[in-house]
Structure 1
């Protein structure tokens, strides 16, 4: 670039923060505008009375390539979940561990009603196949639903319905596991290669670290500034302007800002409104996560594993947060959460009653009268829908007309990996175009 371009990033989620960092590192005069008072987008942590509440059930997959590239994992002081899960079924609780990492759990895992010897062998074979596959190749080729893919490979209904449905229901917010097999393969490979973890300070520590890296690279961040419109080439509407390079005018709630180029890194509905790109997906999957306090002498005995619900009542899964990360709760107390898929319209009290009833049915020898609902996160747009073949319909970073670019997981796939990768891709596209 012959002169220093002035570029803006609209939106301070993970995609926007990564884009701003790479733009600043490339020598651009990069400024990020975020309408909220704090960066992070969907990845945030609320601290109150010694507890830490993430915005819904969120975890970090340590083997995501973009995570390893963009974050200092050691500085995040990660607290790791044990691999596998505790499954609560009609006949009680059972443990499904990872025999590849914990050979001593093989007998316990095979004694569960959800895993046969054949299922265990098929898991090992799939793990080996995916281990040999380049992550960039996992979204290529034919696609189908997760459940169809697993049945074609011979997995039993008990394994699919008792483990995969609630486990991947938590990852994809779709317990019918009707989404793309490619999402399953990518996350399965990632879990096999790494761990599932949270920062000791909560998931909000991730955007905090990314924001610090933006500043280190020479970029600036302004919070409390919302972007209302983006127009290029003399102020034409983003929907009407021709697909040519040129300056961009950004209207904010504080006034008008001119830039050589803009990255739109907002939520999908806002990005579609700002750019007019109709291929930005706006069909959403939501969830409700409710946090609870319990005296810490009531042990759910999950061994730092997720507690999956294999019945047709109650939440999809329960997370023993303070068992994994003691920093999430004050001394003497335990913090757990329950996640319901979709956006149920029950009151907070009604959801707490449902969770209490589920726990009492799973632990008939314990009392849960002391379960106290502390905080409820209702997230109507947690992910976009990822049915088989969804990647063929997603927009590209360069799809907006003029010098406007897209960054968001909706250009890749709905995940922290997708968000971070999209931020780097948008920055690279802009840098390449400005250099020409």
Structure 2
């Protein structure tokens, strides 16, 4: 009998497996795909690195610092702030406290009022040092990002021109209707650190987690699907010592405990627990351009001030030169949701938008590389959403849930949920 079986080899499942194995338990991870990582996946072809949709890791997330060997990931960091783009005009809003050379560009940015720039500094002071539990305190006000900005005196123009496209990339919600706690926590973490990608692509994160789990003694089997989980009796707690019967590709395996670290829909099917059903997705168009056509972004995101077609363009190879072969640069243009338009139409929209942002440049050599459509990138997170999320202990018997959908959608939550799940299992042993 296996001590613990982990269903799902995404970030949460791999973290849980490592902690459990380090505690001396016999652990096996079953992942239905051919590679680990779940939603964090990277494809490499012809010298280009394509992450599955635009993804970044915040290097100041506490769980990132705790669960990952950040130095070994060889992170490539985006510059703080962004380039605000509209037809024929581009301007920079940055963080002069971290890079004084950007002060003049930021101070004289006409898209943002002087009052808004002062409010940003006040917001930094307000959120400095605040921890996740403090910001996500359920006793705090339930309000949208838009309402939180208004309460702090920000102008509507600031919300629409900067926050909407910037947080459109983080929450996949340009309407600013997401729970303000997510804005506040991620703002605080970005003020302390950077958004980054590993030099070898985002898949380097689960690859490292899998390696560390194996080194701790866990077994990881890919291409293996957990089909069902059966406990002896409903409503019993994990402390009863009850065994669990798990069917994997038609074979029944007995385990002392199970960590279900799958996507929420699969978790609901396996455990009967109600999980979130409202999702947000995104579509990323990858395109290449000869290096002789610089975009001069200074390693910053290009935010679409006017609309979400696309919401933003990330200069991937400017940030991480490893993402493109010599002589080429790689751009990632992200559309919110999963548009009905075909890949070629989305590419042409991207090309047309870049041409309008840069009328002095030619994009005749812009080449479509690939398009990733991700229907489920994160759960919908309106104000107060956390009150409806499942608890890790909600399944019957010695079965525990792990996944960012038990907290809030982020790499921070995925990693943290894996640790929490492991603690619940060991505490019940």
* Alignment pair present for 1:34 and 2:27: no
Deviation, 1:5, is: 6.3
Q: Identify the residue that residue 362 of structure 1 maps to in structure 2.
A: 357
Distance 1:254 1:28 in 2: 25
Distance 2:223 2:339 in 1: 31
Q: TM-score, normalised by structure 2?
A: 0.97
Q: Identify the residue that residue 386 of structure 1 maps to in structure 2.
A: 381
* Alignment pair present for 1:70 and 2:67: yes
Deviation, 1:251, is: 0.8
- On the 8 A contact 2:4/2:26 being kept in 1, the answer is yes
Cα 1:260/1:96, change in 2 over 3 Å = same
Deviation, 1:91, is: 5.6
Deviation, 1:113, is: 2.3
Matched position secondary structure for 1:222: strand
- On the 8 A contact 2:2/2:254 being kept in 1, the answer is no
Q: Identify the residue that residue 242 of structure 1 maps to in structure 2.
A: 235
Matched position secondary structure for 1:74: helix
Q: Identify the residue that residue 264 of structure 2 maps to in structure 1.
A: 268
Q: Which runs of 5+ in 2 are unaligned?
A: none
Distance 1:132 1:339 in 2: 31
Q: Identify the residue that residue 427 of structure 1 maps to in structure 2.
A: 422
Deviation, 1:254, is: 4.6
Equivalent residues, number = 424
Distance 1:40 1:386 in 2: 23
Distance 1:52 1:254 in 2: 36
Deviation, 1:252, is: 1.2
Deviation, 1:204, is: 0.3
Per-residue CA deviation, residues 373-401 of structure 1 (Å, 9 max, x unaligned), is 11111000000001100111111111101
- On the 8 A contact 1:11/1:35 being kept in 2, the answer is yes
- On the 8 A contact 1:93/1:362 being kept in 2, the answer is yes
Q: Identify the residue that residue 9 of structure 1 maps to in structure 2.
A: 6
Q: Identify the residue that residue 156 of structure 1 maps to in structure 2.
A: 155
Structure 1 window deviating more from structure 2 (349-358 vs 106-115): it is: 106-115
Deviation, 1:404, is: 0.5
- On the 8 A contact 1:322/1:329 being kept in 2, the answer is yes
Distance 2:36 2:22 in 1: 19
Task: Note the 1:35-434 alignment, pairs <5 A.
Answer: 35-90=32-87, 92-140=89-137, 141-233=140-232, 241-244=234-237, 245=240, 246-278=242-274, 280-312=275-307, 314-434=309-429
Deviation, 1:194, is: 0.8
Per-residue CA deviation, residues 178-219 of structure 1 (Å, 9 max, x unaligned), is 010100011001001111110000000000000011011111
Per-residue CA deviation, residues 324-381 of structure 1 (Å, 9 max, x unaligned), is 0010011111101100001101111000010011001000011111111111110000
- On the 8 A contact 2:85/2:305 being kept in 1, the answer is yes
- Determine which of 11, 20, 23 is the counterpart of 1:23: 20
Deviation, 1:253, is: 1.1
- On the 8 A contact 1:63/1:191 being kept in 2, the answer is yes
Distance 1:215 1:46 in 2: 23
Matched position secondary structure for 1:8: strand
Deviation, 1:90, is: 4.6
Q: TM-score, normalised by structure 1?
A: 0.95
User: What is the aligned-residue RMSD (CA, Å)?
Assistant: 1.2
Deviation, 1:312, is: 2.3
Q: Which runs of 5+ in 1 are unaligned?
A: none
Structure 1 window deviating more from structure 2 (62-71 vs 88-97): it is: 88-97
Distance 1:395 1:277 in 2: 7
- On the 8 A contact 2:308/2:336 being kept in 1, the answer is no
Distance 1:223 1:39 in 2: 7
- On the 8 A contact 1:113/1:158 being kept in 2, the answer is no
Deviation, 1:314, is: 2.1
Distance 1:315 1:391 in 2: 29
Distance 2:31 2:201 in 1: 21
Deviation, 1:100, is: 1.2
